Amino acid sequence: AAGVIQSPRHLIKEKRETATLKCYPIPRHDTVYWYQQGPGQDPQFLISFYEKMQSDKGSIPDRFSAQQFSDYHSELNMSSLELGDSALYFCASRVQGVNEKLFFGSGTQLSVL
Partner 1 sequence: AQSVTQLGSHVSVSEGALVLLRCNYSSSVPPYLFWYVQYPNQGLQLLLKYTTGATLVKGINGFEAEFKKSETSFHLTKPSAHMSDAAEYFCAVRVAGDKIIFGKGTRLHILP
Site residues, partner 1 (CB under 8 A): 33, 35, 37, 39-40, 42-43, 45-48, 50, 55-56, 58, 88, 96, 98-99, 101-102, 104, 107
Identify which of residues 3 and 17 has a Cβ nearer to partner 1 in the complex: 3
44 vs 61: CA distance, rounded Å: 12
Identify which of residues 13 and 50 has a Cβ nearer to partner 1 in the complex: 50
Shortest distance (Å) from residue 89 CB to partner 1: 11
Q: What is the dihedral of CA 49, 46, 37, 85, to 10 degrees?
A: 120
Shortest distance (Å) from residue 2 CB to partner 1: 16
Shortest distance (Å) from residue 52 CB to partner 1: 15
Tell me the sheet residues that pair with 67.
75
Identify which of residues 52 and 104 has a Cβ nearer to partner 1 in the complex: 104
Shortest distance (Å) from residue 34 CB to partner 1: 8
Identify which of residues 56 and 82 has a Cβ nearer to partner 1 in the complex: 56
